[in-house]
Amino acid sequence: MEKQRSKKTKISDDLITCSGNSVQIPFDLIPEILKRLPVKTLARFLSVSKEYTSIIRNRDFMKSYLINSSTRPQSLIFTIAGGGIHCFFSLIDQGESTSSSKPTYLMNCPHLQLKTFAPSVHGLICHEPPSTLIVSSPRLIVSNPSTRRSIILPKIDANHECIYHHMGYDPIDGDYKVLCMMKGMHVYQRRYLAKELQVFTLRKGNSWRMVEDFPPHCLCHEDTPDLCINGVLYYVAMLDTASIHAVMSFDVRSEKFDLIKGGPDGDLNPKLTRYEGKPALLFPGSDYRINLWVIEDAAKHEWSKMSYDVSSTSLIRNPYFHHCVFCTNDAGEIVLAPDFVRTKTFVVLYYHPKKNTMRSVVIKGIRDRKIPLWDEASYHRIISVFSGQVDNLMFL
């Protein structure tokens, strides 16, 4: 009996030939094929050949892969605290009410001490490493849930001050930058003047650089999220000691700041979100109302102000309704979720302001995750919900 011949793959400059099947693929088509594969598959391809490795690790290919991934339906990313750790889950939205949906576990990190929110920025998450115990010399870590790899950034010269941190992405150069702010003088009710700002570009051999010029402003509450849209990082700020909210914008490429005035007044703790491609503030009102203030023109400080009455929707009439507004999704729906998860399932609501409709999705499996300390907690707190989680091929 003749032995079966093994199949061999040969990669040349112009085509790939698979002996035994007589398959010939032009080499210039390989990157287009690889862009459509999952990250886990591409990670395994790194051990196939040096040619595959050179393609997958190429900076232009990784940027192209991220752009292609951003065109797919983007999932919600949940940050949920319990047992002294924060876990991240992603949920693909099917666009309809479902009786049951199980999110995908991404990663976990220690209880965030320096900042509560750690949003996903084009697939990467900036947070603190386990060793962050002393604020006099804190360090930050950037993780990629898609590849399960992380990198610890150099120590920050914080001069014994507490810090806030944000991360932005420049789609032109493909750079990620981490912005770190020192809390200065306390002025009023958990509000601190921004004292020093440092920036770090996520590349080998780089160090923290001091930002010399920025508008004076007060840092807002620790539990206010930030947002990055089209190369501009946004975060909520306060004007001096007043209770008027503003939005600070930071151009990731030029590293220039601009303060967008005209935000809502009062102790509202608004959520920064993206609505129809624009930055917006989302916050609850009285009598089952949801307020949405959208920045229409940042240079002119122009806002559109909308308020929606959701009391007529049947899901809100439940006397045990305790949902909070978190964000908006790509479909223009406002996402509401409970503060705490005490049972094996919980409900996420999606309110469509233009249609005045509310749909629900039952989430299961969060509390069943077998992680030390996590599964021992009596309840879990939903810290944040963000829209826009994408697959990222960056190998940190």
What's residue 328's pLDDT?
Answer: 92
> Nearest-CA neighbor of 237 among 197, 177, 291?
197
Write the DSSP assignment of 241-304 as a string of letters.
TSSBEEEEEEETTT--EEEE----BSS--PEEEEETTEEEEEEE-SSSEEEEEEEEETTTTEEE
- 318 or 30, which is more confident: 30
pLDDT per position as a tens digit, 13-24: 444 455 455 567
How crowded is residue 145: how many other Cβ atoms within 10 Å of its Cβ? 23
pLDDT at 252 over 90: yes
> Nearest-CA neighbor of 121 among 179, 40, 80, 41?
179
* CB of 273 closer than 8 Å to CB of 312: no
C-alpha 124 chain-centroid distance? 7
Confidence of residue 317 (pLDDT cuts 50, 70, 90): low
pLDDT at 349 over 80: yes
Rg (CA), the chain: 23
pLDDT at 196 over 90: no
* CB of 292 closer than 8 Å to CB of 275: yes
pLDDT per position as a tens digit, 168-187: 999 988 899 999 888 777 66
Q: Which domains does the chain have, with CATH numbers?
A: 28-57 (no CATH), 63-389 (2.120.10.80)
How crowded is residue 201: how many other Cβ atoms within 10 Å of its Cβ? 16
In 132-208, the DSSP E strands lie at 141-144, 149-152, 163-170, 175-188, 191-201
pLDDT at 341 over 90: no
- Please report, for residues 110, 336, 357, the alpha-carbon distance to residue 308 in angstroms, rounded to integers and kept in the order given: 37, 14, 11
What's residue 357's pLDDT?
Answer: 87
Confidence of residue 48 (pLDDT cuts 50, 70, 90): confident
What's residue 266's pLDDT?
Answer: 63
pLDDT at 296 over 90: yes
pLDDT per position as a tens digit, 111-164: 666 555 667 898 898 887 765 444 556 788 899 888 888 888 998 876 656 678
110-113: Cβ within 8 A, 24+ apart: 110/84, 110/85, 110/86, 111/81, 111/84, 111/85, 111/86, 112/86
Sign of CA dihedral 14, 20, 22, 23: negative
pLDDT average, residue stretch 292-298: 94
Residues in the chain: 396
Measured distance between the N- and C-terminal CA atoms of the chain, rounded to whole angstroms:
50
Instruction: Show the tokens assigned to 245.
Output: 């909210």
Strand 85-91 and strand 257-260: the pairing is unpaired
pLDDT at 25 over 80: no
- Please report, for residues 114, 140, 189, 292, the alpha-carbon distance to residue 135 in angstroms, rounded to integers and kept in the order given: 8, 11, 21, 36
* Main-chain dihedrals φ then ψ at residue 202, nearest 5 degrees: -75, 80
pLDDT average, residue stretch 367-385: 80
Confidence of residue 243 (pLDDT cuts 50, 70, 90): low
pLDDT at 354 over 80: yes
- 81 or 312, which is more confident: 81
Confidence of residue 2 (pLDDT cuts 50, 70, 90): very low
pLDDT average, residue stretch 229-256: 84
pLDDT average, residue stretch 56-68: 86
Alpha helices by DSSP H, listed for the chain, are 30-34, 39-45, 50-56, 59-70
pLDDT at 297 over 90: yes
pLDDT average, residue stretch 310-321: 60
